[in-house]
Amino acid sequence: MGRLKVERADYAGYCYGVERALKMASTAVKSHEKPIYTLGPIIHNPQVVELFKKSGVNPIDDIKDVKKGTVIIRTHGIDPKVTDKAIDRGLRVVDATCPFVAKAQNCAEELMRGGYEVIVIGERDHPEVVGILAHTDGLARVVEEVSDIAEIDSAKKLGVVVQTTQSLTKLREIIAELASLAGEIKIYNTICNATTQRQEAARDLATKADIMIVVGGKNSANTSRLASICEEAGTKTHHIETADEIDETWFEGYECVGVTAGASTPEWLLDEVVDNISKIDKGTDN
Ligand code: SF4
């Protein structure tokens, strides 16, 4: 009998922005005025959100009912008017917006002020995109897919920013189509390095492994994208949040299992998955 070979992707798990935000939240728990809230879940990982709830950090959707305490802005950033409102209400604001997201927000604002028609490539309803749009006073247009470009009118000057977790392939495809719509196009490639590294490492591993396991919140856009990339590489892929979801039958007939994790997945969840898979017997006699 033999064990499965388990390989971890070269880049997997927490990115700089998530680590920074979690550190800021932990500091807030120790030293800032209670109660402590996050606008939306601190990261898109239900297990981590639960742990923070136990230490008194609760996600809320709106600050309208908050009368005192501390509000943490998560990595995705928010509409600056909401920050102003929180300050006006006397709340302490801890801004954990990832600096790479802040760059995308600033680029969008700069383009809008420079007279460009601003295009944001990304998922319309994702909080990061909603926050970037707010930095253009809602004037920017969102392009999720190449097909959305049909609704965009020609313009003298088009300015483009990208949701930090989009893929370079998507950016290239959309830019190629936008090119015919304007005399001048200014593009800020605001895709974050952590995203590119995790996507490339996942793709590489998926081409070698027989099956891929992607660990992370089902509500995490960057984790779901890793799973799609592995599937696009033609490798059977399962997206799970915890080791409990592992089904031994998935691995029947396979030798090598690739494991990766989204930028919002803690190391301990990834370790548990790798440990559990490493213990599974291939079920074949050697
Ligand atoms: S993926 Fe990139 S942009 Fe998003 S939080 Fe992490 S470091 Fe920041």
Provide the pLDDT confidence category of residue 1 given band limits of 50, 70 and 90: low
d(CA 46, CA 6): 25
* Domain count within the chain: 3
* 143 and 127 within one domain: yes
Paired tokens of 279: 């213990």
Query: Is any ligand 1 atom within 6 A of the Cβ of residue 155?
Result: no
Distance from Cα 263 to the centre of ligand 1, integer Å? 7
Kindly state whether residue 150 falls inside one of the protein's structural domains: yes
* 272 and 217 within one domain: yes
Kindly compute the dihedral angle of the four CA atoms of residues 87, 163, 49, 214, in this order, to the nearest 10 degrees.
-170
Provide the pLDDT confidence category of residue 21 given band limits of 50, 70 and 90: very high
Nearest C-alpha to atom 5 of ligand 1 is from which residue? 17
Q: Which domain holds residue 236?
A: 5-13+194-278
Q: How many residues does the chain have?
A: 286
Ligand 1 pocket, mutate which of 11, 15, 161 (most atoms under 8 A from CB) = 15
Distance from Cα 245 to the centre of ligand 1, integer Å? 26
Kindly state whether residue 286 falls inside one of the protein's structural domains: no
Distance from Cα 197 to the centre of ligand 1, integer Å? 11
d(CA 8, CA 164): 23
pLDDT at 86 exceeding the cut of 60: yes
Mean pLDDT along residues 122-148: 96
Kindly state whether residue 26 falls inside one of the protein's structural domains: yes
Residue-level pLDDT at 32: 87
Residue-level pLDDT at 2: 79
Please report the DSSP string for 225-281 in residue order: HHHHHHHHTT-EEEEESSGGG--GGGGTT--EEEEEE-TT--HHHHHHHHHHHHT-B
In eight-state DSSP terms, residue 95 is: E
Kindly state whether residue 106 falls inside one of the protein's structural domains: yes
Paired tokens of 7: 């390989």
Residue-level pLDDT at 226: 96
pLDDT at 286 exceeding the cut of 50: no
Last residue of a domain, one of 69, 96, 123: 96
Query: Is any ligand 1 atom within 6 A of the Cβ of residue 98?
Result: yes
d(CA 79, CA 165): 19
Distance from Cα 97 to the centre of ligand 1, integer Å? 9
Whether 96 contacts 73, CB under 8 Å: yes
pLDDT at 24 exceeding the cut of 80: yes
Which atom of ligand 1 approaches the CA of 99 most closely? 8
Provide the pLDDT confidence category of residue 3 given band limits of 50, 70 and 90: confident
* 220 and 251 within one domain: yes
* 226 and 249 within one domain: yes
Provide the pLDDT confidence category of residue 167 given band limits of 50, 70 and 90: confident
Mean pLDDT along residues 213-222: 94
Residue-level pLDDT at 285: 46
Kindly compute the dihedral angle of the four CA atoms of residues 11, 197, 250, 243, in this order, to the nearest 10 degrees.
40
Q: Give the helix/strand (H/E) hosting 143.
A: strand 141-143
* 171 and 221 within one domain: no
CATH number, domain with residue 85: 3.40.50.11270
* 240 and 209 within one domain: yes
pLDDT at 171 exceeding the cut of 80: yes
Contacts of 281 (CB under 8 A, 6+ apart): 1, 2, 3, 4
pLDDT at 180 exceeding the cut of 80: yes
Nearest C-alpha to atom 8 of ligand 1 is from which residue? 17
As a whole-number percent, the residues of the chain with pLDDT over 90 amount to: 92
pLDDT at 105 exceeding the cut of 60: yes
Kindly state whether residue 208 falls inside one of the protein's structural domains: yes
* 184 and 124 within one domain: yes
Nearest C-alpha to atom 2 of ligand 1 is from which residue? 192
Query: Is any ligand 1 atom within 6 A of the Cβ of residue 195?
Result: yes
Q: What is the pLDDT of residues 231-268, one digit of tens each?
A: 999 999 999 999 999 999 999 999 999 999 999 999 99
Residue-level pLDDT at 145: 96
* 172 and 153 within one domain: yes
Positions annotated as catalytic residues are 128
Last residue of a domain, one of 149, 169, 191: 191
Query: Is any ligand 1 atom within 6 A of the Cβ of residue 18?
Result: yes
Which atom of ligand 1 approaches the CA of 193 most closely? 2
Last residue of a domain, one of 77, 96, 115: 96
Whether 249 contacts 281, CB under 8 Å: no
Whether 58 contacts 11, CB under 8 Å: no
Query: Is any ligand 1 atom within 6 A of the Cβ of residue 116?
Result: no
Kindly state whether residue 110 falls inside one of the protein's structural domains: yes
Distance from Cα 3 to the centre of ligand 1, integer Å? 35
Helices (H), the chain: 16-31, 46-54, 80-88, 99-113, 127-134, 168-178, 193-208, 221-232, 267-278
Residue-level pLDDT at 283: 61
Q: What is the mean pLDDT of the chain?
A: 95
Mean pLDDT along residues 147-162: 94
* 204 and 130 within one domain: no
Kindly state whether residue 283 falls inside one of the protein's structural domains: no
Distance from Cα 108 to the centre of ligand 1, integer Å? 17
* pTM over the 0.85 mark: yes
Which atom of ligand 1 approaches the CA of 18 most closely? 5
pLDDT at 102 exceeding the cut of 70: yes
* 84 and 157 within one domain: no
CATH number, domain with residue 210: 3.40.1010.20
Query: Is any ligand 1 atom within 6 A of the Cβ of residue 17?
Result: yes
pLDDT at 68 exceeding the cut of 60: yes
Closest to 191 in 3D by CA, of 200, 182, 179: 200
Whether 109 contacts 102, CB under 8 Å: no
* 76 and 144 within one domain: no
Query: Is any ligand 1 atom within 6 A of the Cβ of residue 39?
Result: no
* 176 and 137 within one domain: yes
Kindly state whether residue 23 falls inside one of the protein's structural domains: yes
